[in-house]
Structure 1
Amino acid sequence: MNHQDTLQNRTMLAALDIDGTLARSGTTQIAPTVKAAVARFRTDGHRVVLASGRSLVGILPIAVELGLTDEWVIASNGAVTARLDSRVPRGYGLEEVRNFDPGPVVRLARTILPDVRIGAERVGWGYDVTHLFPTGQLNGAQQIVSADLLGERSTTRLVVRGPGVGRLVDPVRATGLTALLTEPDWVDVTAPGLSKATALEKVRANLGVEPALTLAVGDGENDLEMLRWAARGVAMGHASAVVREAADAVTGTLDQHGAATALDAHRPLGLAVTLPSQ
């Protein structure tokens, strides 16, 4: 019996990005084809973990759409890990929350780009912001506070938005914090050494899933570590060349329901599969 045979019919863990993978950015609508594939995967006894740059309040509606009531979710690019539990009032319990002091970043951002828009996450609620963000850009409620006050409160995630914010990435990283340019005018900042992968590894160990039975599907540069972490990293067909090159395989685009294709390909066969060429 070879190694692959010994892994058959064992529990797998599928880590799924949300925006651009399961749904369009900022929305909660998931194609029936994708929802059905997630259901089949779970019916076979496998685990599905949502791993997103969204805050926790932005992930919860997606979990409801997919019928996930007892799984783990990873929010804010690895800063927040929660366990869904329909028996408790909020529908989840916090497992790990990684905060950091945003003060140095706030001062740096306002020195380099005085008119920049800044938001600091408040887990399970929304964001404190220096200026209101347009509808759909942040999950949850928003409360306007002064930049000084925002910089005094520890947070899990700092969002800096405005023209030219890419100039902040290297200076922020030089402080030891994690900084990601997720859009040309959007920088996410989290505690040192964090990524979706660091949080997923803790969840994997907690669930007792073998490293060889991990699958990840994503489309963004904040998914790079996750795709490399998984035994089988699958990039969406519309992902950038950098993301596709980091993956083991490429599936269809969002419109082609690529996440469903990836889940169905791995569900019955283990990880030694070949996805259709795109």
Structure 2
Amino acid sequence: MHPYQIAFFDIDGTLVDIETKQISEKTKQALVQLQKQGVLLYLATGRPFQSIPHFDWIRFDGCLCFNGSYCVSGDQVIYQRSIAYEDVLRIVENAKAIHRPVSLASDKRISANGVDQDLSDYFALSKQRIAPSDDFEEALQETIYQIMMGAVPSQFDAILQGVESAEIVAWWDRAIDIIPAKSGKGNAVRAILAHHQIDASKAIAFGDGENDIEMLKAVGCGVAMGNANANVKAAADDVCKRVDEEGIYTYLSAHHIIDCSK
């Protein structure tokens, strides 16, 4: 009998093939079988809460979104951290100074003060669209869990100049997520494990991005996708095949974590 009681899955590049924007049938089969075996299933994504896809073939037990700033178990919010209001304003002004629009994400809306090609392409990676919003000033007054914008590493210091309650995570080379300091997927995983009273040794996680590293370290078995970069693979306990090579299904089957004969 396998030792895992809970499994965490990044979405883009892990469950969903970035190129096809689809989840393969074998990946679906693997998740359904895990759930049949009593394993809790959580999505672990940088996507805003509103952008988490609905799957008609399975109901996940919960999710951590905004890179872990907002966690839901069933219909209950069990963990949340936000960016301080004054830092949100400072980030918006810092971004303007380098001619970058930003997109704010609260638990109610996603609102942008403009769009450049990098930000548009970033949203398109997960089959989303972003456009300048009439309600941006209103959104500024809400609790902000994540800010998304196009950026390259040479701009990071300027973006966070004078900011104390936020940090940058990036899983793509042309855009970033700005999240509350000391949040991240690793802390969110620990909060979810505490909520369910599950020891980390009983948890497994799959991810492919730099923003997944802390999550992979927070569980008993952190598995990097074959399409992950070298830093992610080095931080993981194990590496599976690529998302377009049925990595999750193959790994779970090979390690006898699922039995698809049932």
TM range (shorter): 0.7 to 0.9
Corresponding residue number in structure 2 for 1:272:
none
Count how many residue pairs are aligned between Structure 1 and Structure 2: 248
Report the residue type matching 2:207 in the other structure. G
8 A contact 1:238–1:254 mirrored in 2 = yes
Q: CA RMSD in A?
A: 2.8
Aligned to 2:184: 195
1:136 counterpart residue number:
124
Between the aligned partners of 1:56 and 1:147, the Cα distance in structure 2 is 18
State the Cα deviation string for residues 14-50 of structure 1 (Å, max 9, x = none): 1111100000349763111000001111111111111
> In the alignment, which of 102, 108, 121 is matched to residue 105 of structure 2?
121
State the partner residue of 1:43.
36
| Partner-residue secondary structure (3-state), 2:33 | helix
| Secondary structure, aligned partner of 2:214 | helix
Larger CA deviation: 141-150 vs 43-52? 141-150
Q: Distance in 2 between matches of 1:152 and 1:168?
A: 24
Q: Distance in 1 between matches of 2:235 and 2:216?
A: 7
Taking the TM superposition and a 5 Å limit, the aligned residue runs for 1:99-248 are 99-100=82-83, 101=85, 102-111=88-97, 113=98, 115-125=99-109, 127-132=110-115, 134=120, 136=124, 139=128, 144-145=133-134, 151-162=140-151, 164=152, 166-169=154-157, 172=160, 175-248=164-237
Q: Is structure 2 residue 245 aligned with structure 1 residue 252? A: no
Letter in 2 for 1:29: Q
Secondary structure at 1:255 match in 2: helix
Aligned position for 1:57: 50
Question: Does the residue aligned with 2:52 lie in a helix, a strand or coil?
Answer: helix
Could you say if the C-alpha distance between residues 146 and 206 of structure 1 is closer, same or farther in structure 2, counting changes exceeding 3 Å?
closer
1:31 counterpart letter in structure 2: S
Q: CA deviation at 1:212?
A: 1.1
Quote the offset at 1:225 in angstroms.
Answer: 0.3
Question: C-alpha distance in 2, partners of 1:199/1:231?
Answer: 15
The 8 Å contact of residues 218 and 234 in structure 1, kept in 2 or not, is answered as yes
Q: Report if the CA contact (8 A) 1:38-1:263 is conserved.
A: no
Partner of 1:274: none
Paired residue secondary structure (1:117): coil
2:81 aligned with 1:98: yes
TM (norm. structure 1) is 0.78
Q: Distance in 1 between matches of 2:155 and 2:242?
A: 31
Q: 1:261 aligns with which of 234, 250, 254?
A: 250
User: What SS does the aligned partner of 1:144 have?
Assistant: coil
By how many angstroms is 1:148 displaced? 6.3
Counterpart Cα distance in 2 of 1:146 and 1:226 = 34
Aligned to 1:273: none
Distance 1:209 1:239, change over 3 A: same
Report the CA distance shift for 1:119/1:226 in structure 2 as closer, same or farther (over 3 A).
same
Counterpart of 2:90, as a letter, is P
> Residue type matched to 1:32 in 2?
E
* Aligned partner letter, 2:16: A
Q: Which moved more, 1:17-26 or 1:75-84?
A: 17-26
Q: Shift of residue 232 of structure 1?
A: 0.8
Question: SS in structure 2 opposite 1:234?
Answer: strand
2:96 partner SS: helix
Take 1:183 and 1:81, find their aligned partners in 2: how far apart are those partners?
Answer: 23
TM-score by length of 2: 0.83
Match of 2:66 in 1: 76
User: Does the CA contact (< 8 Å) of 1:234 and 1:249 recur in 2?
Assistant: yes
Could you tell me how far 1:108 is from its partner in structure 2? 1.6
